[in-house]
Structure 1
Amino acid sequence: MTRNILLVILIFCITSCKKENKTVKETVQSEELNPIEDPNIFVGKHKAKAMVLGVFHFDNPNLDSYKPKFPFNILESRRQSELDTLLNKIAEYKPTKILLEWPRIKMDSITNERYQNYLNGSFNLNDKSNEIYQIGFKLAKKLDHNRVYCSDASADWFGVELDWDNYDEEVYLKSKGQFEKSTRYDYESFYELGDSIKSVQTLTEHLFFRNRPKNRLKDHQAYLTEGVLEGAGDNYLGADGVARWYRRNLRIFSNAYDLTDFDKEDRLLLIYGSGHVWQLRQFFTDSPDFDYIESNEYLAK
């Protein structure tokens, strides 16, 4: 009798396990087939391509913390020849839209009026060194584009309000015991290296150097070390400054997204200061609607 009871219990357990395994298997299969979990469900009719060409400012306005020390004149005949080489390489990407680092709201109509005048010969670039003109306008003309796109945007300060005229960053950092930690990396030498070699490299060689992902990461890391630390535990001046930088780049990305036609195979080219590359690259890479293309794939050809 006992043996019979044990046999029944064993059969029941085996049957239950089979049912449970079947239920689990059916659940897993159901989840695998669930379209909500398929990342491709968020992709539009055509996935656009985006490439950011990181440049240095040919006509530098000295608005960045590092002030250039070494000369560069894009209008020299040697540099113009190098520019032609660069334009030929980037043209191989075949961008359908060229996005420029000028404010979209304030400058788009003005810039396109100038571009139309450039196309009809009434706006001369021989004395205009800005990369907007030298790369953006000339490349757009080379590719027979009928317009260019201003896509930059500012980001207002939203952090602590200080007496900026009398604010001494070094004194403040030392008073908070943050100075040594915030200055343990020598970013200034990295910036100066990039500044100096532009005077001895060809234009393509130098932009290849600037657009190397490792170099862009190093530049980005300055925000996450010395930049973010200032005011931690007090007014969070540094963290808010980094947030402002992200905010501006997110606005740039939102403009690029808005300007993209996903019903066509748009290929965006953004021409921006190289400091923008890491964040914009991240946004395009993480987006379900873009394939990000490294500019060095074309600069290396």
Structure 2
Amino acid sequence: MAPATPALGQQQDQQSLPFLKSGSQQESVEVMVLGTFHFSGAPDFNAINAAEQQDEIKAMVDNLSKFEPTKIALEFERKDTAKVDSLYDVYRQGNHKLTVNERQQVGFRLAGQLDHEKVYSIDYKKPWGMRPVMEWASDNQTGFKEYFYDWKRENSQMDSTLHRHKTISEILMLYNSDPFLDRIQKARMRTLEVGAGENYIGIEPVASIYKRNMRIFANLIDIAEPGDRILIVYGTGHTHFFNQFIEQHTDMKLVDVQKYLAPAISSR
């Protein structure tokens, strides 16, 4: 009897992964995801450039440095890699003041502190098209419209409370918690009900979100090398996908960011 032939999927697994060599053991890639609010959207009463907030960010970056990342991946589009590399070089030379966004305040700052020669741009933009869904729901499924606006209003109220009373590290501890991430994903799953059985319009933005995040994850795979320790700094809306994809990848290990976010500065 002829020996069993590996299933097609197994053959592809051994042939397609960039750093997996058939018949050899490779070091896994450890990946830690820091999901964050967009610093540029912080309320005026929690101004990122204020002295207190700058101290909080520096303390948080010191904690994150204990992960000892070998690469830092940021929410810059991959097509802008050369421009980002040039800007980071200027920063390393001491000729660039960090702007109010998490890519620079956390990403550039930490990479510079660790003397990294570059940061990694892995983003891919794709419209998610929620407006047609809401327009259709307004005429046909008002219950979803009410749910969605209630969900957004609750988010806004929660964010206002957090920004008034919590440090940046404490805010991000919540933003990276399972209940917070589940809340976002449940809203996506509710979106699938819009147009179900008719035009299925609710599927479109969710499919677009998945495709965008798979493309970003493919960019992450492309930069990963055996033994790497990669920190991803991204909007928290991506965190559910990154965590899932990392956990399901045969050569990656997800590192819990929570233990690196324990605030060195207590609540305000």
Q: Report the TM-score range of the alignment, normalised by the length of the smaller protein.
A: 0.7 to 0.9
**What RMSD in Å do the two structures reach over aligned CA positions?**
2.8
Whichever of the two has the greater Rg, that structure is 1
Q: Equivalent residue for 1:112?
A: 85
The question of whether the paired residues in 1 share the 8 Å contact of 2:137 and 2:144 is answered with: no
> Which among 212, 216, 235 is matched to residue 273 of structure 1?
235
Q: Equivalent residue for 1:287?
A: 249
Q: Does 1:244 align with 2:218?
A: no
> Which among 104, 108, 124 is matched to residue 97 of structure 2?
124
Unpaired segments of 5 or more residues in structure 1? Answer: 1-30, 61-67
Question: Partner letter of residue 83 of structure 1?
Answer: I
User: 2-side partners of 1:217 and 1:242: how far apart?
Assistant: 15
Q: Does 1:73 align with 2:47?
A: yes
TM-score (norm 1): 0.74
The question of whether the paired residues in 2 share the 8 Å contact of 1:230 and 1:237 is answered with: yes
Unpaired segments of 5 or more residues in structure 2? Answer: 21-25, 264-268
The question of whether the paired residues in 1 share the 8 Å contact of 2:122 and 2:216 is answered with: yes
For 1:1-301, what aligned pairs fall within 5 Å after superposition? Answer: 44=20, 45-60=26-41, 71-105=45-79, 107-125=80-98, 128-155=99-126, 169=134, 172-176=136-140, 178-181=141-144, 183-184=146-147, 186-196=150-160, 197-225=162-190, 227-262=191-226, 265-300=227-262
The question of whether the paired residues in 1 share the 8 Å contact of 2:56 and 2:169 is answered with: yes
User: 2-side partners of 1:70 and 1:216: how far apart?
Assistant: 25
- Please identify runs of 4+ aligned residues in structure 1 that moved more than 4 A: 40-43, 68-71
User: 1-side partners of 2:237 and 2:44: how far apart?
Assistant: 18
After superposition, give the CA deviation of every residue in 1:162-220 in whole Å (9 maximum; x if it has no partner): xx7xx6835x32543x2225644742244114421123211111111111112111111
Q: Equivalent residue for 1:3?
A: none
Q: Percent identity of the aligned residues?
A: 31
The secondary structure found in structure 2 opposite 1:229 is: coil
- Judged with a 3 Å threshold, the aligned counterparts in structure 2 of structure 1 residues 188 and 69 are, in CA distance, closer, same or farther, namely farther
Aligned length: 246
TM-score (norm 2): 0.83
Q: Equivalent residue for 1:22?
A: none
**Cα distance, 1:52 vs. partner?**
0.8
